[in-house]
């Protein structure tokens, strides 16, 4: 029989315990644990959620990596074509971890209406394009259909639609300049079938998506010539390793660039979130631990006579320390229970109703995203419990300094 656990259970269940002098301090300790776990849970859920959401939006426009020609072109426009007659296309079977590869091409042009004009980049895509990201971004209409060879259907951003007063089923003209300034530009009439909003305004204001065949015709490319390849991976955490393998398995005339290299400033910024998360977790655990230390010291002082009696009956110092650590474990678990109830409730409310909006011009999202995973919630609870108990080992050493004779006479 574990008599330390038995006595701790009797102490916790007694009415005197709940109405003792230490009761308010115990409640404060429980509240500190609960508030700490709520803050930590929200910090991780929103921090990781924001990282994932921003990364997904950048990847939607670029892929996890691109395969393109070696050139000094810093614009988004595709200047020199690549043949699709490659060993790695249409499936990159030689490198494990690659989930999809698609051929695209970009062409800068000017959208002209009766009253306005706006510069934008037409991203030409084909039948192999993965529309899963843009289906999530869609706010009106549908995804373009390119079954017809010269389909003029396009999907534009809500940013461009608002600036040019476009809506679904509207038509517009887009002007593309030729390399020879003396020649007349190409003018193509497009039909709006969908409007998307990724929330990433820097990219939304640049791109509309349409048929790649128009860019091939304007640039006088063959049907098997494209601007670059976009590559997607199964696990983003393996991106650098997979990118190195992709580079080895492509011709020497082609270059590989990851999305983290192309948008380095954005990924450096969201990488700072990890530091903030670790800092907040450390502070919250420290605050909760200090409150529990205070509660434990009060419990020890309040039960000094009991400690003396147990020592007089032959209990060891470690046995009595275990008794109080069991007591403290109950308080920590109680705080974790209420913290999880409140924290998960707030996170689910945010996920369903978007209670806390964000400025998309700063955070690239219109509401705080939430990432929920049983793994990190379990780790957070276990980590808090273990660290708090480790912190309580030091103040529990006070029990060894208590003399049985003095303790029994203590009043």
In a domain, 262, yes or no: no
Question: Within this chain, do residues 27 and 90 fall inside the same structural domain, yes or no?
Answer: no
In a domain, 259, yes or no: no
Question: Which residues pair with residue 176 across a beta bridge?
Answer: 186
Q: Indicate whether 85 pLDDT > 70.
A: yes
297 confidence band (pLDDT: 50, 70, 90): confident
Question: Are 52 and 371 in contact, with CB atoms under 8 Å apart?
Answer: yes
Question: Within this chain, do residues 363 and 385 fall inside the same structural domain, yes or no?
Answer: yes
First CA to last CA across the chain, in angstroms? 31
Give the number of domains in the chain: 2
Q: What is the mean pLDDT of the chain?
A: 84
Question: Within this chain, do residues 24 and 90 fall inside the same structural domain, yes or no?
Answer: no
Mean pLDDT of 277-295: 86
Give the model confidence (pLDDT) of 373-402 as tens digits: 888 899 989 988 888 888 888 777 776 666
- pLDDT value for 410: 53
Question: Within this chain, do residues 96 and 241 fall inside the same structural domain, yes or no?
Answer: yes
Separation CA 98–CA 234 (nearest Å): 6
In a domain, 346, yes or no: yes
% of the chain surpassing 70 pLDDT: 91
In a domain, 64, yes or no: no
- pLDDT value for 405: 57
Q: Which of 218, 252, 286 is the last residue of a domain?
A: 252
Mean pLDDT of 92-117: 89
- pLDDT value for 314: 75
Q: Look at 21-25, 41-45, 152-156, 182-186 and tell me which has the smallest mean pLDDT.
A: 21-25
- pLDDT value for 117: 85
Question: Are 125 and 153 in contact, with CB atoms under 8 Å apart?
Answer: no
In a domain, 66, yes or no: no
- pLDDT value for 26: 79
Q: Compute CA distances 84 → 59, 79, 209, 221, 269, whole Å.
A: 22, 16, 20, 12, 35
179 confidence band (pLDDT: 50, 70, 90): confident
Q: Which of 188, 217, 252 is the last residue of a domain?
A: 252
Give the model confidence (pLDDT) of 320-344 as tens digits: 778 778 888 888 888 999 999 999 9
Task: Write down the H helix ranges in 129-197.
Answer: 132-137, 158-164
Show Cβ contacts of residue 19 under 8 Å, excluding neighbours closer than 6 positions. none
Q: Indicate whether 403 pLDDT > 90.
A: no
Give the model confidence (pLDDT) of 9-41 as tens digits: 766 666 555 556 667 877 888 888 899 899 999
Question: Within this chain, do residues 245 and 113 fall inside the same structural domain, yes or no?
Answer: yes
Question: Within this chain, do residues 26 and 117 fall inside the same structural domain, yes or no?
Answer: no
Question: Within this chain, do residues 81 and 210 fall inside the same structural domain, yes or no?
Answer: yes
Question: Within this chain, do residues 154 and 14 fall inside the same structural domain, yes or no?
Answer: no
Give the model confidence (pLDDT) of 35-80 as tens digits: 989 999 999 998 888 888 888 888 988 999 999 888 756 667 777 8
For residue 104, give the DSSP letter: E
Separation CA 20–CA 224 (nearest Å): 82
Q: Count CA atoms within 13 Å of residue 65 on its CB side.
A: 24
In a domain, 319, yes or no: yes
Question: Within this chain, do residues 36 and 75 fall inside the same structural domain, yes or no?
Answer: no
Question: Within this chain, do residues 151 and 30 fall inside the same structural domain, yes or no?
Answer: no
Question: Within this chain, do residues 293 and 405 fall inside the same structural domain, yes or no?
Answer: yes
In a domain, 260, yes or no: no
Separation CA 226–CA 84 (nearest Å): 7
Q: Which of 222, 252, 282 is the last residue of a domain?
A: 252
- pLDDT value for 229: 93
- pLDDT value for 191: 93
Nearest to 224 by CA among 311, 64, 105, 329: 105
Nearest to 258 by CA among 232, 281, 283, 284: 232
Separation CA 58–CA 259 (nearest Å): 8
Question: Within this chain, do residues 295 and 405 fall inside the same structural domain, yes or no?
Answer: yes
Give the model confidence (pLDDT) of 202-254 as tens digits: 888 889 999 999 999 988 899 889 999 999 999 988 999 999 999 999 988 88
In a domain, 257, yes or no: no
Residue 161's domain comprises: 71-252
Give the model confidence (pLDDT) of 300-311 as tens digits: 777 777 777 777
Separation CA 16–CA 5 (nearest Å): 18
């Amino acid at each position: 029989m574990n008599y330390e656990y038995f006595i701790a259970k009797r102490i916790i269940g007694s009415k005197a315990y709940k109405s003792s002098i230490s009761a308010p301090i115990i409640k404060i300790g429980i509240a500190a644990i609960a508030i700490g776990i709520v803050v930590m849970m929200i910090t991780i859920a929103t921090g990781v959620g924001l990282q994932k959401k921003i990364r997904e939006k950048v990847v939607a426009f670029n892929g996890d990596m691109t395969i393109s020609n070696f050139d000094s072109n810093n614009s988004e426009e595709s200047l020199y074509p690549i043949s699709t007659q490659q060993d790695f296309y249409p499936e990159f079977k030689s490198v494990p971890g690659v989930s999809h590869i698609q051929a695209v091409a970009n062409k800068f042009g000017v959208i002209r209406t009766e009253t306005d004009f706006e510069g934008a980049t037409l991203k030409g895509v084909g039948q192999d394009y993965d529309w899963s990201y843009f289906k999530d971004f869609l706010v009106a209409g549908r995804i373009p259909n390119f079954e017809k060879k010269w389909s003029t259907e396009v999907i534009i951003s809500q940013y461009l639609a608002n600036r040019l007063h476009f809506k679904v089923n509207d038509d517009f003209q887009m002007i593309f300049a030729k390399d020879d300034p003396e020649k007349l530009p190409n003018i193509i009439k497009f039909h709006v079938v969908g409007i998307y909003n990724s929330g990433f305004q820097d990219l939304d204001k640049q791109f509309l998506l349409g048929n790649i065949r128009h860019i091939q015709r304007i640039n006088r490319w063959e049907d098997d010539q494209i601007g670059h390849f976009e590559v997607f991976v199964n696990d983003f955490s393996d991106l650098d390793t997979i990118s190195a393998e992709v580079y080895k398995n492509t011709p020497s005339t082609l270059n590989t660039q990851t999305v983290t290299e192309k948008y380095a400033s954005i990924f450096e910024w969201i990488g700072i979130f990890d530091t903030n998360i670790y800092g907040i977790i450390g502070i919250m655990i420290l605050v909760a631990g200090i409150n529990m230390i205070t509660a434990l010291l009060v419990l020890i002082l309040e039960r000094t006579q009991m400690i003396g009696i147990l020592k007089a009956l032959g209990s060891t110092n470690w046995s009595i320390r275990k008794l109080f650590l069991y007591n403290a474990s109950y308080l920590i678990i109680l705080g974790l229970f209420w913290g999880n109830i409140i924290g998960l409730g707030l996170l689910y409310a945010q996920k369903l109703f978007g209670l806390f909006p964000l400025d998309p011009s700063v955070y690239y999202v219109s509401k705080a995203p939430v990432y929920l995973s049983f793994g990190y919630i379990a780790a957070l609870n276990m980590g808090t419990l273990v660290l708090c108990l480790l912190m309580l080992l030091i103040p529990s050493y006070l029990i060894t300094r208590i003399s049985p004779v003095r303790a029994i006479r203590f009043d």
